[in-house]
């Protein structure tokens, strides 16, 4: 059994994954308190089997599943990301350190966003006006509680300006952190079991009526265990309300592809759902 936990304007909603699919309003109104609950899975199991208000028949309009958490991101955790970045940074003399971080014991971890810069399902993500070459990065996102335990999974889009990052790696924060540079959603999958290695991550970019890019990967292609990324992030750092950690992209469109205003980005991770955002 697993649960899909949605953040909505009317408070958190939990849905049983499976045949029944019962959906209830969860008693705990604070998202921060909820994801830091001593045992989130048991709490949701109790909530969905209780007399909590049943909202199964009503439409859920999900918001980004985030409270006051910071969003961090891991980089170059897939070979595809290493290769693409070595190419884009070659002229800037940056070819080798992507390779070095891919193989190093210490992962690349960087600050990605505050909740204010995050958008939810259906909301606009942004291409910077000063970037001519921006792409979406479809990533598994971990919901981690204050104690450093992975309590759930969501979908993340780590929007990236490849031209700005490629010009000079010291520009990474400008390539990555700006208004509407991160999308999260549509829900948090809470399960007792870890996601299997064959979990698929799919990216489709739609322009007009046509899909102009499709690519996919699986978690098996990720070089590092998820817990290792979290343990490095927690070194000499604390997150009193927990944290969201994007785990890196394994899907990078070809170099001639750049996002345009009006595109729609669709990221699917089947056990979690689909996150779709238009581009501003």
CA separation for the pair 140, 230 (Å, rounded): 13
Which range touches ligand DO4 (CB under 6 A), out of 18-26, 34-42, 68-76, 272-280? 68-76
Closest by CA to 71, choosing from 163, 178, 170, is: 178
Residue 94 near ligand DO4 by CB under 6 A: no
Could you say whether residue 108 binds ligand DO4 (CB under 6 A)?
Answer: yes
Nearer to ligand DO4, 19 or 105 (CB): 105
| Residue bearing tokens 């699917």 | 268
Stretch that binds ligand DO4, among 13-21, 73-81, 123-131, 268-276 (CB under 6 A): 73-81
Q: Counting contacts by CB under 6 A, is residue 75 touching ligand DO4?
A: yes
* Residue 137 within binding range of ligand DO4, rule CB under 6 A: yes
* Smallest distance from ligand DO4 to CB 172, Å: 6
Residue 201's binding partner, choosing from Mg ion, ligand DO4, none, with beta-carbon cut-off 5 to 8 A by kind?
A: none
**CA dist., res. 150 & res. 147, Å (int):** 9
Choosing from 69, 81, 134, 181, the residue that interacts with ligand DO4 (CB under 6 A) is 81
**Which residues face 15 on adjacent strands?**
4, 23
Which entry of ligand DO4, Mg ion, none binds 76, CB below 5 to 8 A by partner kind? Answer: ligand DO4
- By CB under 5 A, name the one of 15, 16, 108, 158 that touches Mg ion: 158
List interacting residues with ligand DO4 (CB under 6 A).
73, 75-76, 81, 85, 108, 137, 158, 172, 248-249
């Amino acid at each position: 059994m697993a649960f899909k936990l949605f953040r909505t304007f009317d408070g958190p909603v939990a849905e049983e994954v499976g045949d029944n699919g019962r959906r209830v309003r969860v008693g705990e109104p604070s998202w921060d308190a909820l994801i830091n609950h001593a045992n989130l899975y048991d709490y949701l199991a109790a909530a969905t089997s209780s007399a909590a208000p049943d909202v199964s028949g009503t439409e859920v309009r999900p918001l980004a599943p985030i409270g006051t958490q910071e969003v961090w991101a891991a980089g170059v955790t897939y070979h595809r990301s290493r290769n693409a970045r070595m190419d884009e940074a070659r002229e800037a003399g940056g070819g080798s350190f992507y390779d070095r971080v891919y193989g190093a014991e210490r992962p690349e971890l960087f600050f990605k966003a505050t909740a204010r810069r995050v958008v939810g399902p259906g909301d606009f993500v942004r291409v910077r006006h000063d970037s001519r070459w921006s792409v979406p990065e479809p990533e598994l996102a971990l919901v981690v509680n204050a104690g450093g335990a992975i309590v759930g999974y969501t979908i993340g889009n780590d929007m990236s300006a490849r031209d700005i990052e490629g010009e000079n790696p010291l520009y990474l924060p400008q390539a990555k952190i700006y208004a509407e540079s991160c999308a999260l959603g549509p829900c948090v999958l809470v399960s007792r079991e870890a996601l299997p290695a064959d979990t698929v991550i799919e990216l489709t970019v739609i322009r007009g009526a046509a899909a102009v890019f499709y690519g996919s990967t699986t978690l098996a292609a990720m070089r590092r265990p998820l817990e290792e990324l979290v343990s490095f992030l927690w070194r000499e750092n604390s997150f009193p309300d927990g944290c969201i950690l994007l785990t890196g992209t394994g899907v990078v469109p070809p170099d001639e592809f750049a996002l345009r205003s009006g595109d729609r980005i669709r990221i699917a991770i089947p056990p979690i759902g689909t996150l779709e955002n238009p581009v501003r």
